[in-house]
Amino acid sequence: MSIDVPKFTIIGRVNKGKSSIVSTLSEDDSVIIDSKPGSTKYCQEFPFRIDGKTLMILIDTPGFREAPRALAWLRAHEDSVTNRREVVSKFVRTFQNSDEFVDEYRLLTPILNGAGILYVVDGARSFRKNYEAEMEILRWTGQPRMALINKIGENDFSDEWRPALDQYFSVVRSFNAHHVRFVDRIRLLEAFRELHESWRESINVSINHLKSEWERRQRVTANIFANLLIDELTYQQEITIGKNEDPAFQKYKIEARFHDYLRSRERKARRAIEHLYQHLKIQIDEDELAVPVYEQDLFAKSTWNVLGLTPKQLIALGAVAGATAGGILDAAVGGASFMMGTLLGGSVGAASVLYFSTRRFVSIDNIIEMLQGSKIIRIGPHKNPNFPWILLDRALLHYLNIRDLAHSRRKKISLQSESNEQRLVKNLESMQRKELNRLFSVIRKKGNRETAKIQVELEKILREIVNDI
């Protein structure tokens, strides 16, 4: 039976991860996942949509309960192997309004209506012969079939399962419902495309849309990062006080407001990434975020020790920036300085990095203006040279966790990386670091003026980074 949108029934015994697979493949964290046996009582469709277009439909089903007895009924009514599908249809018609074989007739109904079969087994448990009844019933339907070995525990009995599954299914794949990447959905569709000729065209459309969506999400991610960096590098806070009021009394108040904004701006970017990857109900316990990256907030000292560029890299970039400025001086005097400008510029650039890299907090510049008898105190933008690198590092770490997070995860997420995976920006290519450093410098000089062209350049290099990690 030909269908416009590929449909896949997720079949298996109770509590073998069927609902988890449905949630992950459809990017739907509203799918109910319950450890209690029999939590799925009816068939329910979960479409995977992109831009309003349904690319595939996953059907969560009750698990087999009485497969051996159901198979015995089918065999008792079989006349020939040529009419086995009709026998299965007769089985469904016979028991659809009865109290017998309730789960069996419910899960078989969408299959007879044309859906493909994704048969799920728990690879952490050993194969038992009584599973053969389920697999035989599914073979009787004549529908395209694929088996997924989903390990729920620590043990691995995949080698026991494969020879048995190969007897009944054209494709057998290992599939961890809690560690599914975007590319895994594409591979799954590519495998099903080969199982059923009439599905080839519609599945090709779905695959192309998936690939386009992956690229779109990377572009949007780069845009979110660019806006975050520009906003944070140009942000200023100010308060107005009375003419005779001492500015020192307002120092801690305005510093707190300044840094609170930067933190909230980062949180806003994180929520945008989470929604981009369809994690609409994700739970993140900020108090439990792990040491050393996420336990502390953006301005905690430990964050500056483990994120961003290394001191050596910062000094190198500072020297390059200083040498560039010195080179301009050399050109202005026609080389008469005997390149002293370049040498001096490099020394000043490196020295300034050493000075500013020890200052985590921006200090009040005490820019006080007399306006109608009042004073305006301004703070910002943030001057620490490592600040944008730390922002980018944190953004990339968060992005990697969210991008690769399966929608079947229901526990509170602790976003963390092993210590040897931190400080992602230090592993960027040298030219990428130099170009980013140049853009950060330009952004700070221009403030929030004329940032459109800079943003285009920044997004371009950020797309390359997002694509590579």
pLDDT at 316 (0 to 100):
72
Closest CA to 224 of 298, 277, 180, 279: 277
Task: Parse the chain into domains and list their residue ranges.
Answer: 7-195, 213-468
**For position 291, what pLDDT does the model report?**
30
User: Dihedrals φ, ψ of 447, to 5°?
Assistant: 65, -140
State residue 466 phi and psi, 5-degree precision.
-60, -40
> What are residue 6's phi and psi, to 5 degrees?
-60, 130
Residue 32, C-beta contacts closer than 8 angstroms, at least 6 positions apart: 19, 39, 40
Q: What is the DSSP string of 112-165?
A: HTT-EEEEEE-TTS---GGGHHHHHHHHHHT--EEEEE---SS---HHHHHHHH
The whole-angstrom separation of Cα 243 and Cα 225 is 40
d(CA 185, CA 190): 9
Give the amino acid at 1: M
Phi, psi of 44 (to 5 degrees): -140, 135
Interatomic CA distance for residues 303 and 296, integer angstroms: 7
Judge contact between 12 and 119, C-beta under 8 A.
yes
Cα gap 193→204, rounded to integer Å: 8
pLDDT at 413: 67
What is the torsional sign of CA 280, 282, 287, 291? negative
Alpha-carbon distance of 456 to 210, in angstroms, equals 25
In the CATH scheme, what is the code of domain 7-195? 3.40.50.300
Please give the pLDDT value at position 371. 42
DSSP secondary structure letter of residue 408: T
Query: Using an 8 Å Cβ cutoff, are 384 and 357 in contact?
Result: yes
Grouping H, G, I as helix, E, B as strand and the rest as coil, residue 201 is helix
Q: What is the CA radius of gyration of the chain?
A: 30
Q: Which residues of 60-86 are buried (b: 16+ CB within 10 A; e: fewer)?
A: bbbbbbebeebbebbeeeeeeeeebee
Q: Rounded to whole angstroms, how far apart are CA atoms 24 and 177?
A: 6
Which pLDDT does position 69 carry in this prediction?
A: 95
**How is 293-327 classified by DSSP, letter by letter?**
TTSS-TT-HHHHHHSS--HHHHHHHHHHHHHHHHH
Maximum distance among all Cα pairs of the chain, rounded to whole angstroms = 103
Q: Which helix (H) or strand (E) holds 236?
A: none
Please list the rounded mean pLDDT of every run of 10 residues in the chain (469 residues). 72 75 77 60 82 83 89 94 93 92 92 91 88 94 91 85 93 81 80 80 84 92 96 85 73 79 90 89 51 42 60 66 39 31 36 39 42 65 85 89 75 56 81 94 82 91 93
pLDDT value at position 117? 92
Helix, strand, or coil (residue 467): helix
d(CA 391, CA 444): 15
The predicted structure's pLDDT at residue 422:
62
